[in-house]
Structure 1
């Protein structure tokens, strides 16, 4: 399959410290690609560069062949590239359902003119958005807490809600940032199932940073390993787990 994300010869330094060093990766369309590596490997920095949260120093990032180098996150959102966060970013004083309804851009109700002069169209659009939100909240298994304030949800439920928010847009690529962090095993199973369904049924492409190797093993193929800001190796999880260089990078010489 052709790639949907291409990172080409990217460099990033903070002061005199090089964090990303001539790094190139490709993410195939329709894949669930894992991005792993030891602490300090540059995973989060590369992730933030792709997501538009950090400018790169040199190199190029392409989305489906389009140059998106250094575009901010809000522009990437409209191009179908979204991210979730290790710590969920919910609107705590809105209900779970209202959190989903906030996502679609350019809603008519945001315009004072439309509110005054096109109330019928505003109501129709709100009904459409609400119906979509109800479908999404059922999909992610949160229907029983749809009217609960999002700030009262558990950590795992907030992660499910974040995943649901990606479904309220025309997402093409979703960057998942340690989505398993702080999630109990039951809800983690639900998260994994939903990610697999979004990939299989709706064609979402995922790039996943994760320390939970069981989750990576279940979800991701291929897996890219970063070390010292460069790609060390790429392959199946079995190839990665049996690679002596990877074992040394994670555990030190002699760990095998």
Structure 2
């Protein structure tokens, strides 16, 4: 498989502090690639640069072979690079269905002329978007909350809606930022199963920041380890767990299996 995302010697400095230091890695198309490391390793800063929220101080980021550093998040969204967040960003007063229907860009109903004079065009497009949203709801098995205001959902249900929003457009790669945070084990299992299905059935590529080693072990191969802003090791989780230097840098010598960060107890 060819890389869909390549990060070449990327650095990010904040004044005299270097958060990411000449980082290089690649994500192969069709993979679920994990990104782990201790707090302060530079993982979120790296995600922010890939997603267009921060420009790199130096280095190159390639998506499908084209440089993307400096592009804004909405431009990357249009190219099929999407990101979810550790804390879900829902429209709290809109229903789950409406949240999903908000995702596709360029809807004719957003154009004043179309809204006033081309009502049929608007209605036909909205019907297609609604049909797709309902298909996503069926895929994720969240029909029981489809008409519920998204702000009323539990943390885990909101994560499912975030995943559903990536399905409303033709996503090529999805950056998942700590999908397990604040999610109980039952819902986390549902989220993981849906990620596996999207990868296997629809060819989604995922790049995953996560502290939960059980989830990393289930989903991710390869796994990239960052420490002090640099890539330290890339390999399977078993290879990483057996690397004494990684264990020392990540957990100060504690066995990785004993340091697994568990998801919270909220739903």
| SS of alignment partner, residue 201 of structure 1 | helix
- In 1: Cα distance, 2:213 partner to 2:53 partner: 26
Asked if 1 retains the 8 angstrom alpha-carbon contact of 2:100 and 2:164, the reply is yes
* Residues 225-253 of structure 1: per-residue CA shift (max 9 Å, x gap): 00111110000011011111111012225
- In 1: Cα distance, 2:63 partner to 2:111 partner: 31
- In 2: Cα distance, 1:37 partner to 1:252 partner: 12
Counterpart check, 1:98 vs 2:120 = no
- In 2: Cα distance, 1:87 partner to 1:39 partner: 17
- In 2: Cα distance, 1:37 partner to 1:59 partner: 21
* Residues 58-80 of structure 1: per-residue CA shift (max 9 Å, x gap): 00000010110121101000000
Residue 177 of structure 2 corresponds to which residue in structure 1? 177
Structure 1 runs of 4+ aligned residues shifted over 4 Å read: none
Q: What root-mean-square deviation, in Å, do the aligned CA atoms of Structure 1 and Structure 2 show?
A: 0.8
Residue 250 of structure 1 corresponds to which residue in structure 2? 250
Residue 86 of structure 2 corresponds to which residue in structure 1? 86
Which structure 2 residues correspond to residues 19-98 of structure 1 after superposition, within 5 A? Answer: 19-98=19-98
Counterpart check, 1:166 vs 2:166 = yes
- In 2: Cα distance, 1:235 partner to 1:134 partner: 38
TM-score in terms of structure 1 length: 0.98
Asked if 1 retains the 8 angstrom alpha-carbon contact of 2:227 and 2:250, the reply is no
Asked if 1 retains the 8 angstrom alpha-carbon contact of 2:94 and 2:150, the reply is yes
Residue 203 of structure 1 corresponds to which residue in structure 2? 203
* Residues 98-139 of structure 1: per-residue CA shift (max 9 Å, x gap): 000000000011111111221111111111100100000111
| SS of alignment partner, residue 182 of structure 2 | coil
What residue ranges of structure 1 are gaps of 5+ in the alignment?
A: none
Give aligned pairs, total: 255
| SS of alignment partner, residue 207 of structure 2 | strand
Residue 153 of structure 2 corresponds to which residue in structure 1? 153
User: How far has the Cα of 1:195 moved from its partner?
Assistant: 0.3
Residue 111 of structure 1 corresponds to which residue in structure 2? 111
